[in-house]
Amino acid sequence: MTSMQTPEQVFDAVQKAKAGAAAFCTNFFPVEAKLRSWIEHGELSAELRDGVTFSFRRDRDFLRLYFCAADVTALRREIEASRELTTQRLVADLIGKESDVRRVVSAFEPAGFRPHTQLERLAKTGRPEPLPGQPVAFADQADAAGILELIEKTFDRYGEQLPMLYEIEAAIASGQILTSRSDGEVAGLLFFETQGFASTVRFWAVAERYRALKIGSAVMRQYLKIHDAVRRFTLWVNSGNDDAIRKYRHFGYAPDGLMDQVLASPAVYS
């Protein structure tokens, strides 16, 4: 693997796999600002192979795997031929319509990758009228460690792309995390990303001891209230988490047909 030093290196590597490809496939949609952050923190590396570029992002004690391939056949061949992909702790997100995702999954199966979890995307338009609830405010930097702790306790680190502490600090600075506090600690939070008329909920969580206080409802309603200009809201949720899906449906979210099949390499389970 080669450490990536600039976003331009990353984009060049993507183009090498894409050049002349008749059935290009990928799970990598790099945004320059995020690439710069990953590179600054020494998290991104790549491996260029015949018709395929693999990118690796360090996430705690494992790697997130991204690929750009001329076609599924080349992807299958190079997965099996790459030592890193058969020995490292890797997790890959395959996003798309179910039929397209299943086709790409077949390229990973011979190397021993297996399903870890499946997410589905929910979307909504409009917003409910806000109702009185628990006090909600934007997070401040003193909340960062508590926010990370709550997210890590609530969500699956392999399946749900948990943020690093520096990403939480940047999100707080940008006004992207709402919190409700109780007994001097972060009791609930909603971490979001908004661009123009679209907004995505990244994490919505309430500490277990506060779940009877309607804190989750309060932070969600405040989130919707401050996004009057947004026309489309989206989020990803574990397809097996019926309780979370029910709560999102209550606020008007519904499946939009996209899925994320999260695969893990054999080393994750060894």
Q: How does pLDDT run across 31-80, given as a tens digit for each residue? A: 899 999 999 999 999 999 999 999 999 999 999 999 999 999 999 999 99
What kind of fold does domain 127-230 have according to CATH?
Answer: Aminopeptidase (3.40.630)
Question: What pLDDT score was predicted for residue 132?
Answer: 56
Question: What pLDDT score was predicted for residue 129?
Answer: 59
Query: Would you kindly state where each structural domain of the chain is located, as residue ranges?
Result: 2-119+261-269, 127-230
- Compute the distance between CA of residue 119 and CA of residue 152 in angstroms, rounded to an integer: 17
Q: By C-alpha distance, which of 219, 24, 230, 15 is closest to 124?
A: 230
Mean pLDDT of 5-24: 92
CATH class, 2-119+261-269 region? alpha beta
Mean pLDDT of 186-194: 97
Q: Do domains 2-119+261-269 and 127-230 have the same CATH topology?
A: yes
Using an 8 Å Cβ cutoff, are 103 and 72 in contact? yes
Residue 7 has pLDDT above 90, yes or no: yes
pTM greater than 0.85 (yes/no): yes
Q: How does pLDDT run across 146-177, given as a tens digit for each residue? A: 999 999 999 999 999 999 999 999 999 999 99
DSSP state of 20: T
The one-letter code for the residue type at 60 is R
Question: What pLDDT score was predicted for residue 135?
Answer: 86
Residue 198 has pLDDT above 90, yes or no: yes
Question: What pLDDT score was predicted for residue 130?
Answer: 58
